[in-house]
């Protein structure tokens, strides 16, 4: 009988211990495991999502700025404005400060990349420009460098059509886009330089004979003084229709952006400081030309 009692007591004790353990597990351990599992799941999903965003951002920057670097390097206009263009990526393309350096690296990479490699990059990231509006936006942003110095040469026209082919534009479609740009910028043909610019001369050149562009009348001065003024406007990124206040703001903005102290702050080294100094001097000279022409104080 005693053995039976001992067995019963033992069984009850074991059940009691198991009950306590089960209670502790359900009340304390199980919620921690559930919350931990959910938290791990959410964090893993978030990590993968952020990783996809980062990769897609890098992909888009690569698509935008590697071809941009190639076009800049191949542009036949050896102007300081090209350096200004590279340094104004943040402003012109509304790139966030944390992505500016990456965009700059892609531009420099593109300047050393072959045409076949650039075409491969554009083909690889086709999903970002399959939409017609996205394709046009990216294409126009990239070929805009060809017009930064207000001069379009034959080599640059060939480069324009090469880039258009990368984005599957037909020859006729690309021609139409180029016609519109030249018309909007009032470009005409100058036979002496075999190029197009706002201060070119209407001479019946082959290109405008095909497209029927009208001439452009400047300020009525000599060609050299007109060209000097147009060059000054080009450096400041304005034109004759820009108001005095907006012209002054454009000058101050450029001077602020390319002050030699900015090169020091960005860690561009001695070469960067020298380049910024030269650019600020060029901007100052351009403003002096505009200021005197408009009789501004």
In a domain, 38, yes or no: yes
Based on the fold, state whether residues 35 and 131 are members of the same structural domain. Answer: no
Show pLDDT as tens, one digit a residue, over the chain (297 residues).
677 777 778 788 888 888 888 888 888 888 888 888 888 888 877 776 666 655 677 888 899 889 988 888 887 444 443 454 555 555 556 667 778 788 888 888 888 899 999 999 999 999 889 899 889 989 988 888 787 667 788 888 999 999 999 999 999 999 999 988 888 878 888 776 678 877 544 333 333 334 433 333 333 333 336 778 888 888 888 888 888 888 888 888 888 777 777 777 677 778 878 888 888 888 888 888 888 888 776
The CATH number of the domain holding residue 251 is 1.10.287
**Residues for the chain: how many in total?**
297
Cβ atoms of residues 95 and 88 within 8 Å:
no
pLDDT at 211: 40
In a domain, 123, yes or no: yes
Based on the fold, state whether residues 114 and 135 are members of the same structural domain. Answer: yes
Element containing residue 152 per DSSP (H, E): strand 152-153
pLDDT at 126: 92
Based on the fold, state whether residues 71 and 107 are members of the same structural domain. Answer: yes
SS percent in the chain: helix, strand, coil, step 5:
75, 5, 25
Question: Using CA atoms, how far apart are residues 181 and 256, in angstroms rounded to an integer?
Answer: 30
Based on the fold, state whether residues 36 and 80 are members of the same structural domain. Answer: no
pLDDT at 109: 87
The total domain count for the chain is: 3
In a domain, 287, yes or no: yes
- Domain end (from 157, 185, 213): 185
Based on the fold, state whether residues 37 and 61 are members of the same structural domain. Answer: no
pLDDT at 90: 53
In a domain, 261, yes or no: yes
Q: For residue 114, what are the domain limits?
A: 56-185
pLDDT at 52: 60
Based on the fold, state whether residues 281 and 170 are members of the same structural domain. Answer: no
What is the distance of C-alpha 104 from the center of its chain? Answer: 9
Based on the fold, state whether residues 61 and 178 are members of the same structural domain. Answer: yes
In a domain, 254, yes or no: yes
Query: Is the pTM of the predicted complex or chain greater than 0.75?
Result: no
pLDDT at 169: 94
Based on the fold, state whether residues 154 and 119 are members of the same structural domain. Answer: yes
Based on the fold, state whether residues 178 and 71 are members of the same structural domain. Answer: yes
Based on the fold, state whether residues 79 and 39 are members of the same structural domain. Answer: no
pLDDT at 256: 77
In a domain, 174, yes or no: yes
Question: Using CA atoms, how far apart are residues 137 and 146, in angstroms rounded to an integer?
Answer: 15
Based on the fold, state whether residues 23 and 84 are members of the same structural domain. Answer: no
- Domain end (from 129, 158, 185): 185
């Amino acid at each position: 009988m005693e053995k039976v009692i001992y067995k019963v007591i033992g069984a009850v004790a074991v059940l009691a211990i198991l009950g306590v353990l089960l209670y502790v597990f359900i009340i304390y351990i199980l919620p921690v495991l559930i919350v931990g599992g959910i938290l791990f799941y959410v964090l893993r999903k978030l990590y993968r999502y952020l990783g996809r965003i980062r990769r897609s951002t890098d992909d888009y920057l690569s698509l935008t700025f590697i071809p941009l670097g190639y076009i800049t390097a191949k542009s036949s206009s050896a102007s300081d404005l090209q350096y200004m263009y590279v340094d104004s990526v943040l402003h012109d393309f509304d790139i966030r400060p944390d992505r500016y350096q990456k965009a700059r690296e892609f531009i420099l990479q593109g300047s050393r990349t072959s045409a076949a490699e650039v075409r491969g990059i554009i083909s690889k990231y086709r999903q970002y420009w399959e939409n017609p509006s996205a394709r046009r936006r990216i294409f126009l942003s990239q070929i805009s460098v060809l017009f930064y110095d207000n001069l379009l040469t034959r080599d640059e026209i060939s480069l324009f059509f090469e880039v258009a082919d990368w984005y599957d534009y037909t020859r006729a479609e690309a021609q139409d886009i180029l016609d519109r740009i030249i018309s909007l910028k009032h470009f005409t043909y100058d036979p002496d330089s075999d190029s197009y610019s706002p201060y070119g001369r209407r001479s019946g050149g082959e290109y405008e004979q095909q497209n029927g562009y009208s001439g452009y009348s400047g300020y009525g001065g000599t060609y050299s003084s007109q060209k000097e003024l147009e060059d000054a406007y080009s450096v400041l990124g304005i034109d004759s229709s820009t108001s005095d206040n907006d012209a002054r703001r454009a000058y101050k903005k450029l001077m602020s952006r390319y002050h030699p102290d900015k090169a020091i702050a960005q860690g561009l080294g001695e070469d960067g400081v020298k380049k910024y100094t030269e650019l600020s001097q060029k901007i100052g000279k351009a403003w002096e030309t505009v200021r005197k022409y408009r009789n501004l104080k």
